[in-house]
Amino acid sequence: MNVFISGASGGLGRALANECGKRGFNLFLTDINEGGLKSIQRGLERQFGITVTTAACDLTSDESVDALLEKIDGYGIRFDMLLNVAGVDYEGGFLERQRRDIIRIISLNNEATMRVTHAILSRRREGHPFYLLFTSSLASMYPMPLKATYAASKRFLLDMAVALGQELKQSRVRVLALCPGGLVTTKEAMSGIEAQGFWGDATTNPLEKVAARTLHRLQGRGGIYIPGALNRTLTFFGNLLPRRWVAAAIYQRWSKAQQQWNPSKIKTRTPA
């Protein structure tokens, strides 16, 4: 089983890579952070003795991805699984963020993901099932004030996953949208979850379990995977309410959490 992982040197990417390593899959890893890629490659080879190939790449650049594909075609690699993990978000409300940061969310989360998905799907192993993961988010379930661009970008991935799942069914491509709540991947994530207090803890999912179940679900029936019973319940009831009400409630919660977390970021306004 040959697996391509984007964003492999970040928290969720590493956890999924570990899970693949445990299952003895061969990995092709990419990330913008070259040092991080080399580290995770070493770790995987030492732990599991699997074949790991890495190539640093800026997925938002067509040239960079072309170079990556040349490398893949040079090796003649054909893939059985694609885990789209690379994604980004920046803190702060819409007008507090830099214009370029907002565009970058779309370029990486959506544009780059489409670029990679098309490229790797075209290089799938013929006559075999293919497994395709989109890392969406719990944020994709509702419009989210203060995280509006991010939430909308994740909604895009969710809809893509569901639609492609149907479109490519005949080609034996199984598609899963992963919609996790908080995941403890970085120190920033840790402090962000702490700032949300009870709800932060309650909607946070254990990274290693999410990684294991994601692969399980992906190789099983695909569809949409929302980790955590509470998250599933909240999503179910949230979908019954008018979207404007849910957005208002989320605004209340996030503005409070953000003030607690870093008051300076809420107050400062940078003209875009």
Partner 1 sequence: MKTAVITGASSGIGLAALVELAQKQYAIVGVGHDANRSEQALKQVLAAVPGAHVRFVNGDLMQQREVTRVAGEIGAILESEYNGKLDALVNNAGCVRSWYTTTEEGYEQQFALNHLAGFLLTYHLLPQLKRAGGRVVFTGSESHKHMRVRWNDVMFFSGYHPLTVYKQSKLCNILFAKGLNDRYLADGVRAYVVDPGLVCTDIGNKNTGSLVNFVWKYRKKHGVSPQVPAKTYGYLVETEPAPEELYYYRCKPNRYSREVTSENAGRLFELSERLCGIQYPASEPGKGGKT
Which candidate in 131, 142, 150, 225 is catalytic?
Answer: 150
| Closer residue to partner 1 in complex, CB, 32/69 | 32
Q: Which residues pair with 55 in a beta bridge?
A: 30
> Can you read off the two tokens belonging to residue 20?
């693949």
- For residue 194, the minimal CB distance to partner 1 (Å) is 6
**Cα 192 to Cα 141: distance, rounded to the nearest angstrom:** 20
In the set 142, 147, 154, 225, the catalytic residue is 154
Q: What are phi and psi of 124, to 5 degrees?
A: -80, 160
How far apart CA 253 and CA 197 sit, in angstroms, is 11
Element (H, E) at 255: helix 243-261
In whole angstroms, how close is the CB of 21 to partner 1 at the nearest point?
Answer: 8
Whether 131 is catalytic: no
C-alpha 10/C-alpha 6 separation (Å) is 9
Token pair of 269, please? 């306004």
Taking the complex as a whole, the smallest distance from the CB of residue 13 to partner 1 amounts, in Å, to 9
Residues lying near partner 1 in the complex (CB under 8 A)? 9, 11, 14-15, 17-19, 21-22, 35-36, 39-40, 42-44, 46-47, 184-185, 187, 190, 193-194, 197, 200-201, 204, 206-209, 212
| Residue 181 C-beta: closest distance to partner 1, Å | 13
Is 225 annotated in the active site?
no
Nearer to partner 1, 196 or 258 (CB): 196
Q: Write out the two tokens for 136.
A: 């969406």
Catalytic residues: 150, 154
